[in-house]
């Protein structure tokens, strides 16, 4: 299985809502990533988990809260988002010592 899955595919939320994005991989990878991608831009790194511990936080606002319950799962909890947070949110994974990152299909988030 060489797939990274993400749910939901689409999400519309109001600025006062709380929602979560989910990511799963079964490749035995020990590094997992959250990226944000705006239209016509490259992916922008948000968080990196290595062996289920947060290793990189790219100065992301606290309204985004990542969680890694186990080596296969990665969540991104969303609260009090702003309309400018609307974007494609991508999850990726890689072997810890290998830079070959595999991306999921993304969640298209719209904040009203």
Partner 1 sequence: QQQVKQSPQSLIVQKGGISIINCAYENTAFDYFPWYQQFPGKGPALLIAIRPDVSEKKEGRFTISFNKSAKQFSLHIMDSQPGDSATYFCAASNQGGSEKLVFGKGMKLTVNP
Cβ–Cβ < 8 Å for 60, 46: yes
Burial of 83 (C-beta count, 10 Å sphere; 0-12/13-18/19+): exposed
Q: Is 44 helix (H, G, I), strand (E, B) or coil?
A: strand
52/79 with CB nearer partner 1: 52
Whole-number Å distance between alpha carbons of 60 and 45: 9
Q: x/- binding map, residues 50-89, to partner 1, per CB under 8 A?
A: x-----x-------------------------------x-
Q: Is 94 in the site for partner 1 (CB under 8 A)?
A: yes
Give me the residues that bind partner 1 (CB under 8 A), please.
4, 6, 31, 40-43, 45, 48, 50, 56, 88, 90, 92, 94, 96-106, 108
């Amino acid at each position: 299985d060489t797939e990274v899955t993400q749910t939901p595919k689409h999400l519309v939320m109001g600025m006062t809502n709380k929602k979560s994005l989910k990511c799963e991989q079964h490749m035995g990878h020990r590094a997992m990533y959250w990226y944000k991608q705006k239209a016509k831009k490259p992916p922008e790194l948000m968080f990196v988990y290595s062996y289920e511990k947060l290793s990189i936080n790219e100065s992301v606002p606290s309204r985004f809260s990542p969680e890694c319950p186990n080596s296969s799962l990665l969540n991104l909890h969303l609260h009090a988002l702003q309309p400018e947070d609307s974007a494609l949110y991508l999850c990726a994974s890689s072997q810890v010592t290998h830079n070959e990152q595999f991306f999921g299909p993304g969640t298209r988030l719209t904040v009203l």
